[in-house]
Chain A
């Protein structure tokens, strides 16, 4: 168990005079760093001040002010509050900011994302290609002046729906052809010789090493996007030497729908059901993270009963997710579907509870700003009690007993796909992936939110960072979640479930907030900028599935090709969240 570090007053402006100024905009916090000093500042922050974990990197387009901003959130893996720093540049196309990959390699994918969606060019980035959009896409969709196909208005609700809501199908209103805009000089009828894959394969080639004097030929294999073991539409381009992986690049974005752009058109409340669709296996935790971020801005906290319900639901979600993850990992190891279906039974019983509480098994949309949508219906608490005290402990033991000493799992898991503790931090991994590498970092303890500071549980941690530990840590976490649920069932008080009157238009004061929760897959963060309007100005999701993949390549290099799917399975990704 890591005790939260004592809160220290950090005056970066005094420590780095001339480099750093406090961010004094109303509602904002953190520090503004001079662009030229960013690298020196980040190095000092990591090495001298101990902020070794770069959680989130994203950008904001302040179009009216003519500025672009890159926002960083860094933490210490020993716990405690983080530091939020920004770099501001004049808004151009593209803007240039130094890349932090050399200091925090975990920024690699996030910077690519910011380049792709916001047009922020990170100078010095080793492989700055688009990541979610395809390579010959024109424009940067998260810029405020970029408009999507079928664009209607900047913000919802659209005027065409009421009171003169003459129904029109979107596809009739904007037929393909007149809703597309092409970059200057581009003719869609002409074939171009642009090869969208060239940059990818070139990026892979950079890493190829030929041994001294010996010319070896490497084989390039694409796994996915449609492959049962990639857990969705996910592709990996792998360079092989015989059967050994020399290098690989994940290719993603096949499920991309620009969740963040949709979120910036939506009102604050409308985003709640959309968060369900991020990691669609863990909608309750997604709701949790988003609600926390907006509540931070609104300055409200939910009543006691709602906090207990929230934690209970979030921990049930963790169990449901972990049994799924364990089951699927077994699929990837070749134990096709039998263990997974056993694990699924428990998940089904948990989903029954979600359905009774929220109305939906997976798309729960249950949290509201200041509480939850409705109180627990009669009988639900008994069901939770039955599961938490009786059935789940039994069944988890049974599943562990089935899997833990299986020699095939041990042979394929122990010592395979190792992620060292240093690398786990460097690559900004989070969740079970980080903790299985020996770092007991859990947001619920490191920076407690909701009522976690009052609940007894241990942060699960395993030392070896291999596939086997990543499977076993999920068993440990299920047990800890059961402990938490047992406490919430015993202690849940009566009372109201909303701190404020339920409203569909919430007033969110201007400012920024970063809300993060320990989701089942890792640290799920929401960075929100409000300008006081009904929709967020910026809505960014720090997706653990996405960022954990940064470590995927380094984990696989040197392994055999057959281990690739097992390593991927042990990370536990969901493409709905990864591609957003």
Chain B
């Protein structure tokens, strides 16, 4: 056996040295880019994008919370309820309290009280109470996936640390459509188009018998 002792250690040190060197080499490259194109390596979207790309070299980490990795559109954390703004700025919940989300939720953390008409006793498609036990939610996204009214969606906000138990009520869960469209533009556009097509089909179908 002709093993040369110390070779592995030298090689290992070499790899580490190369990474160390790469970090500063990249810094120099970016310094050049900063001067010529105004692009910065740290605390800038282009710098973070580069560090998360296949060409990343040297330092790889992101200095959270000063720097944050952007989240992709499909990213999911906890659910929220989508409301549309009425003509006078009132909140019109999309939710019809159909209960599908609470039935599909694996850890059963969605609680919905349906509103009933005090006179007829019949249910009104608007939740009286809507609770999600955020500490129990497993962030699976099934509620958003199977809600037939696009009324519950997964949020991008992941900074939810708190000292107590987090149970969100209807107020806390409600967020405007504009917010939803800002975090998930492609999904929202797709859903709006599908809804518009459905609406058009419905109108066409209801117009037919009269004709």
Contact = CB atoms under 8 A, between A and B. Distances in A.
B139 A169 contact: no
Interface stretch (B27-35, B100-108, B191-199): B100-108
Interface string A138-166: 00000000000000000011101111111
A266 B104 CA distance: 10
B178 to A, nearest CB: 21
Contacts of B12: 335, 338, 402, 406
Interface in B40-94: 52-54, 56, 60, 71-76
A169 B111 CA distance: 11
Interface in A347-376: 348-349, 352, 355-360, 363, 365, 373-374
Nearest to A357: B74
Contacts of A406: 8-9, 11-12
Nearest to B140: A273
A532 interface: no
A504 B104 contact: yes
Contacts of A408: 8-9
A329 to B, nearest CB: 15
A284 interface: no
Interface string B122-155: 0100000101010010111110011000000010
A137 B123 CA distance: 47
B139 A363 contact: yes
A391 B113 contact: no
Contacts of B154: 359
Contacts of B76: 359-360
B163 interface: no
B158 to A, nearest CB: 11
B140 A363 contact: yes
Contact of A387 (B6, B11, B54, B71): B54
B15 interface: yes
A163 B106 contact: no
Contact of A162 (B56, B60, B114, B139): B114
A352 B54 CA distance: 11
A94 B134 CA distance: 41
A197 interface: no
A182 interface: no
Interface of A: 156-158, 160-167, 169-170, 266-267, 269-274, 277, 335, 338, 342, 345, 348-349, 352, 355-360, 363, 365, 373-374, 377, 383, 386-387, 390-391, 398, 401-402, 405-410, 502, 504
Given A266-B106, A386-B54, 20 more contacts: A156-B108, A161-B105, A161-B112, A162-B103, A162-B112, A163-B123, A166-B129, A167-B129, A270-B105, A345-B60, A349-B54, A356-B72, A365-B142, A387-B54, A402-B12, A406-B8, A407-B3, A407-B6, A407-B8, A504-B100
